[in-house]
């Protein structure tokens, strides 16, 4: 199914909901010519919402031939209004805007099959459809919007003024399923197993018998990408794991045991801890730390790549959200994108390292990556790992990174993680970690005065890291964490809790 993006804030969400119904979907810009849409052979099309009015100058439109394709089409919010406008109905600013939860009275129709006649739906609109397109019948209305849904079964046009994709529309997912399964005849076949099969085929077709390199970071994306490629190519793949010594306690060992030990993936484990410490000596500025870690990473990786000889392909864990951000699937359909994104760990490889990219996750959203990881047998700990920054603990130690301070932070962080997992809260938190500030304070232990570091507990909830709230951790959990950290780590005599949301604070301290 193709979701034509008309600028709405929920366009990506529509694509994700459709995939949750196990039907493959892609997001495409509204300017996409009809030939390009047809080339994707869609079973169904959704026209998304959008902030414009159909009468506004420059309001987003679709190629009108979209309505002659004979492909079942569902217009949502602005998409519905655009349909009405293009197909001979009417759209007006009636003065009856609706925002938020709204009662819907259903009169019938394929979208609402099997559902109650009274529904709660989520609305967000100023304009309304005041006349359905010729041949369409009105299938639902709300108190201020008599035409809240219409259907023209014969021509395959469906419109809803509300947003079935948001959770506040209680039966929204059922409505989408009705459209997908019953109207468009799409089967729920987009499963993790099917994704794996398809990607294995596609990686084999792309790479043939060439050799492939993958940088493992310990994160879920590179882990799943590596396992997928390994499934396709077995020993043609070599993974390089650069241990920069800035990971959490036991994470390096887990990577080596899981990949080298359990999955028998050819693995080069580079123990570069001292090199990184050397590069970080005397550096206090956060951006300079980031730069040095990134640069050293590339140097080490490059050295290993040269050592391995003739390797032309590089695996990268690019996700579908990155693809959408950089302009969609577009022409680079075969998975060979031109650029390596700079935020990625191997970003900024020198030009003369002329790799072609293998991107087996470029069709997947993050939650799908995790499901594929589970299906491939990746340990739960790796599949559900919270996001972790590339420069690792280096940006959670304020000021200079030394071996001693790394050890202190790593131990404190391990206690924090341990207790959060034990309390069953790990997956509810976007991130939870310890921070080591560059100050010391006075304490008393036994009869002795101490002068030692504090540890800051940072735990946040978030959907996408753009905004975040500090997590309300239970007091008894905080007490356990605090007393364990102070009792077990001699260099620490105080534990503090960070109560800042983002904005104005950031999630990380550096
Ligand atoms: P902030 O601290 O800006 O972080 O609220 C937002 C998200 O980005 C992660 N982060 C990084 N990830 N390299 C990374 O790979 C970095 O330098 C970096 N800095 C922040 C952070 O952990 C959070 O998830």
Residue 238: phi, psi to the nearest 5?
-120, 130
Higher pLDDT, 67 or 344: 67
Binding site membership of 293 for ligand 1 (Cβ less than 6 Å): no
Q: Looking at mean pLDDT, say which of 83-97, 224-238, 351-365 comes out highest.
A: 224-238
Over residues 70-83, the mean pLDDT reads: 97
Range with the lowest mean pLDDT among 70-74, 246-250, 326-330, 375-379?
A: 326-330
Q: Which residue has the higher pLDDT, 476 or 97?
A: 476
Ligand 1: nearest atom to the Cα of 462: 24
What average pLDDT does the structure give for the chain? 93
Nearest residue to 262 (alpha-carbon basis) of 288, 226, 217: 226
* Residue 344 pLDDT > 50: no
Q: Check residue 325 and give its pLDDT.
A: 80
Candidates 3.40.50.720, 3.20.20.60, 3.40.50.620, 3.60.15.10; CATH matching 192-383: 3.40.50.620
What's residue 300's pLDDT? 93
**CA 448 – CA 446 distance, rounded (Å):** 5
Of 490, 304, 471, nearest to 411 (Cα)? Answer: 490
390 within ligand 1 shell (Cβ under 6 A): yes
pLDDT at 339: 33
Question: What is the average pLDDT across 121-131?
Answer: 94
How confident is the model at residue 326, as a pLDDT? 78
Residue nearest to atom 16 of ligand 1 (CA): 389
Centre of ligand 1 from the C-alpha of residue 334, in Å = 30
Q: If you take atom 19 of ligand 1, which residue's CA is the nearest one?
A: 389
> For 424-445, what is the mean pLDDT?
96
Q: Where are the domains of the chain?
A: 2-183, 192-383, 401-497
Q: What are 8-30's pLDDT values in tens digits?
A: 989 999 999 999 999 999 999 99
If one counts every other C-beta atom within 10 angstroms of the C-beta of residue 86, the result is 17
211 neighbors 238 (Cβ within 8 angstroms): yes
pLDDT digits (tens, 9 = 90+) for 219-238: 999 999 999 999 999 999 99
* Cis peptide bond prior to 503, omega within 30° of 0: yes
Question: Which ligand 1 atom is at minimum distance from the Cα of 510?
Answer: 2
Judged by average pLDDT, the poorest of 203-212, 221-230, 303-312 is 303-312
CA of 383 from ligand 1 middle (Å) equals 19
Ligand 1 atom closest to the CA of 505, numbered from 1 = 5
pLDDT-above-70 percentage for the chain = 95
Average pLDDT of 27-54?
94
Q: Provide the pLDDT for residue 252.
A: 95
pLDDT tens track for 382-410 = 999 999 999 999 999 999 999 999 999 99
Write down the pLDDT at residue 463: 87
The pLDDT of residue 349: 61
pLDDT confidence of residue 324: 85
Q: CATH fold of 401-497, please?
A: GMP Synthetase; Chain A, domain 3 (3.30.300)
The radius of gyration computed from the CA coordinates of the chain, to the nearest angstrom, equals: 27
Of the pLDDT bands very low, low, confident and very high (cuts 50, 70, 90), residue 142 is very high
Is the minimum distance from the CB of 441 to ligand 1 under 6 angstroms?
no
pLDDT higher than threshold 60 for residue 330: no
Q: Which residue has the higher pLDDT, 343 or 167?
A: 167
Distance 411 CA to ligand 1 centre (A): 21
57: Cβ contacts below 8 Å, ≥ 6 apart: none
What residues are labeled active site? 77, 163, 165
pLDDT attached to residue 352: 62
pLDDT-derived band at 94 (thresholds 50, 70, 90) equals confident
Residue 296 confidence class, pLDDT cut points 50, 70, 90: very high
Q: Is the pLDDT of residue 345 over 60?
A: no
Report whether pLDDT(346) > 60.
no
Give residue 388 CA to ligand 1 midpoint distance, Å.
7
Average of pLDDT values for 150-157?
96
Regarding the beta carbon of 168 and ligand 1, being less than 6 Å apart is answered: no
- The pLDDT value recorded for residue 331 is 42
Say how many Å lie between the CA of residue 419 and the centre of ligand 1: 23
pLDDT in tens, 468-510: 999 999 999 999 999 999 999 999 999 999 999 999 999 999 9
Residue identifier of the C-alpha nearest atom 10 of ligand 1: 389
- CB of 465 within 6 A of ligand 1: the answer is yes
Indicate whether 372 pLDDT > 70.
Answer: yes
Looking at residues 141-156, what average pLDDT do you find?
95
| pLDDT at res. 96 | 83
Provide the CATH number for the domain formed by 2-183 in this structure. 3.40.50.880
C-beta of 317 in contact with ligand 1 (< 6 A): no
Which residues, at least 6 apart from 36, have a Cβ–Cβ distance to it below 8 Å? 28
Task: Look at residue 350 and tell me whether its pLDDT is greater than 80.
Answer: no
Same fold, 192-383 and 401-497: no
Ligand 1 near 507 CB (within 6 A): yes
pLDDT band for position 334 (50/70/90)?
very low
502 lines ligand 1 (CB under 6 A): yes
The pTM is what?
0.87
| pLDDT, mean of residues 236-265 | 96
CA-CA distance, 6 to 83, in Å (whole number)? 12
Distance 389 CA to ligand 1 centre (A): 5
Q: Whole-angstrom Cα distance, residue 510 to residue 410?
A: 17
The per-residue DSSP string of 349-418 comes to: --TTS-PEEE-TTTT--HHHHHHHHHHTT--HHHHTPPP--TTGGGGTB-S---HHHHHHHHHHHHHHHH
């Amino acid at each position: 199914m193709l979701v034509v993006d008309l600028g709405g804030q929920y366009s990506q969400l529509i694509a994700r909901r459709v995939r949750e119904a196990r039907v493959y979907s892609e997001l495409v810009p509204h300017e996409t010519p009809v030939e390009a849409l047809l080339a994707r052979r869609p079973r169904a099309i959704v026209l998304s919402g959008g902030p414009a009015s159909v009468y506004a100058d420059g309001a987003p439109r679709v190629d009108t031939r979209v309505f002659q394709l004979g492909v079942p089409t569902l217009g949502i919010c602005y998409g519905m209004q655009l349909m009405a406008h293009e197909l001979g109905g009417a759209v007006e600013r009636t003065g009856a805007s609706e925002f938020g939860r709204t009662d819907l009275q259903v009169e019938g129709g394929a979208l609402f099959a099997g559902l109650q006649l009274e529904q709660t739906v989520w609305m967000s609109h100023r304009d309304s459809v005041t006349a359905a397109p010729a041949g369409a019948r009105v299938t639902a209305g709300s108190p201020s919007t008599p035409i809240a849904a219409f259907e023209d079964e014969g021509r395959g046009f469906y419109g809803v003024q509300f947003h079935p994709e948001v959770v506040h529309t209680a039966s929204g997912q059922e409505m989408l399923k009705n459209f997908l399964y019953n109207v468009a005849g799409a089967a729920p076949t987009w499963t993790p197993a099917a994704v794996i099969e398809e990607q294995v085929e596609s990686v084999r077709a792309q790479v043939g018998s060439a050799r492939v390199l993958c940088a493992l970071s310990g994160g879920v994306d590179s882990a799943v990408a590596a396992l997928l490629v390994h499934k396709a190519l077995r020993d043609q793949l070599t993974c390089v794991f650069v241990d920069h010594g800035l990971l959490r306690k036991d994470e390096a060992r887990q990577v080596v045991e899981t990949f080298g030990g359990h999955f028998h993936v050819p693995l080069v484990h580079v123990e570069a801890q001292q090199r990184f410490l050397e590069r970080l000596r005397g550096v206090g500025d956060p951006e300079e730390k980031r730069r040095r870690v990134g640069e050293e990473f590339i140097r080490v990786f490059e050295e290993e790549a040269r050592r391995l000889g003739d390797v032309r392909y590089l695996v990268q864990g690019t996700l579908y959200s990155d693809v959408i951000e950089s302009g969609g699937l577009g022409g680079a359909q075969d998975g060979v994108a031109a650029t390596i994104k700079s935020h990625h760990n191997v970003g900024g490889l020198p030009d003369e390292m002329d790799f072609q990219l293998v991107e087996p996750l470029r069709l997947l959203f993050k939650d799908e990556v995790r499901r594929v990881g589970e299906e491939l047998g990746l340990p739960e700990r790796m599949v559900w790992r919270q996001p972790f920054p590339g420069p690792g603990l280096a940006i959670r130690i304020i000021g200079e990174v030394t071996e001693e301070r790394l050890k202190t932070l790593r131990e404190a962080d391990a206690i924090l993680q341990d207790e959060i997992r034990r309390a069953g809260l790990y997956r509810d938190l976007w991130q939870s970690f310890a921070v080591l500030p560059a100050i010391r304070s006075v304490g008393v232990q036994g009869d002795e005065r101490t002068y030692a570091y504090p540890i800051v507990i940072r735990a946040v909830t978030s959907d996408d890291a753009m905004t975040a709230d500090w997590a309300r951790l239970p007091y008894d959990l905080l007490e356990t964490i605090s007393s364990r950290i102070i009792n077990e780590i001699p260099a620490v005599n105080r534990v503090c809790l960070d109560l800042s949301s983002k904005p104005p604070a950031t999630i990380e301290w550096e």
